[in-house]
Structure 1
C-alpha cells in the first residue's frame, strides 16, 4: 500500500504542481506583453488562460498533501523533522499561491480584461505589478523546489541516498 500511495503522491505532484508552477511563471511575462499590446486579443487570451490554469491546478494540487500524509503515515515518518519541514514549506507555498499570486493574477485579468489596457485602477495593471507578481511567483516556486529537495534527500534516511 505504501508504494501505491507514494506513486499517487509523486504523480499528483508532477501532474498538479508542475503545471501551476510553469503557468504561474509564464503569467508575468504574458501580462507584460498584454500591457504592451492593448488591442491584441491573443495576448489577452494568453493571460486569461494562464490564470485559469493556475486556478484549476491549484485546486487539483490539494491531492498532493492528502496522499503525502497517507504515504508518510504508512511509512511511519510523520514525526520526522524533514517531513515536518516539508509540511511547513508546503503550507507556505499554498499561502503564497492562494493569498498573493492568484489574487494578483485575477486583479490583472479583471483590471485589464486580460488585454493590458493599462491600469484601470483595479490593481494588477502596471508593469510594476507584473514585476511584483514575478517575485511572488519565484518565492512560490522556490518553496516547492525546497519541498522537492527534502522529499528526495530526506535527512536521516536509511535508503543510502
Structure 2
C-alpha cells in the first residue's frame, strides 16, 4: 500500500503543482504583453485569462498532494521525522503564498487589463516576485523529499 500511496502522491505533485508553477511563471510576462498589445487584440488577454484559470483550477487539484503525502507518511511511519516536518511547513508556506498573494494579484492584474489597461509595471514585478517565492518553496520541498536528511535508506 505504501508504494501505491507514494506513487499517487508523486503523480499528484507532478500533475497538479507542475502546471501551477509553469502557468504562474508565465503569467507576468504574458500580462505585460497583453498590456502592450493594441486595444483590439484580444489574443494576449485571452492567454492571461487562461493562465490564471490554470493556476486556480490546478491549485485546487493540488490539495491532493498533501492529502496523499500524509497518508504515505503515516504508512511509512515517518510522521515525526524532521525532514517531513520541514517539508510540511514549506508546503504550507507555498500554499499560503499562492492563495494570499499569487492568485489575488493575478486577479488584480486581470482587472487592471480590463479597465482600459491601467496596469503598472510594479504590479507584474511584484507578482513575479511572489511567484518566484512560491516556486522556490516547491523546489525546496521536492529536494527535501528526495534527499530526506537523516534518512537511513541511503538516499
Q: TM-score, normalised by structure 2?
A: 0.97
Unaligned ranges ≥5, structure 1:
120-124
Q: Which aligned runs of 4 or more in structure 1 are off by greater than 2 angstroms?
A: none
Looking at structure 2, the residues matched to 55 and 126 of structure 1 have their Cα atoms a distance apart, in angstroms, of 23
Once the two structures are TM-superposed, the CA of residue 108 in structure 1 deviates from its matched residue by 1.1
Coordinate RMSD, CA, aligned: 1.0
Q: TM-score, normalised by structure 1?
A: 0.93
Looking at structure 1, the residues matched to 116 and 18 of structure 2 have their Cα atoms a distance apart, in angstroms, of 30
Aligned to 2:134: 140
Number of residue pairs the alignment of both structures matches: 154
Aligned to 2:117: 118
Aligned to 2:109: 108
Once the two structures are TM-superposed, the CA of residue 38 in structure 1 deviates from its matched residue by 4.4
Aligned to 2:66: 65
Unaligned ranges ≥5, structure 2:
none
Aligned to 1:92: 93
Looking at structure 2, the residues matched to 18 and 133 of structure 1 have their Cα atoms a distance apart, in angstroms, of 18
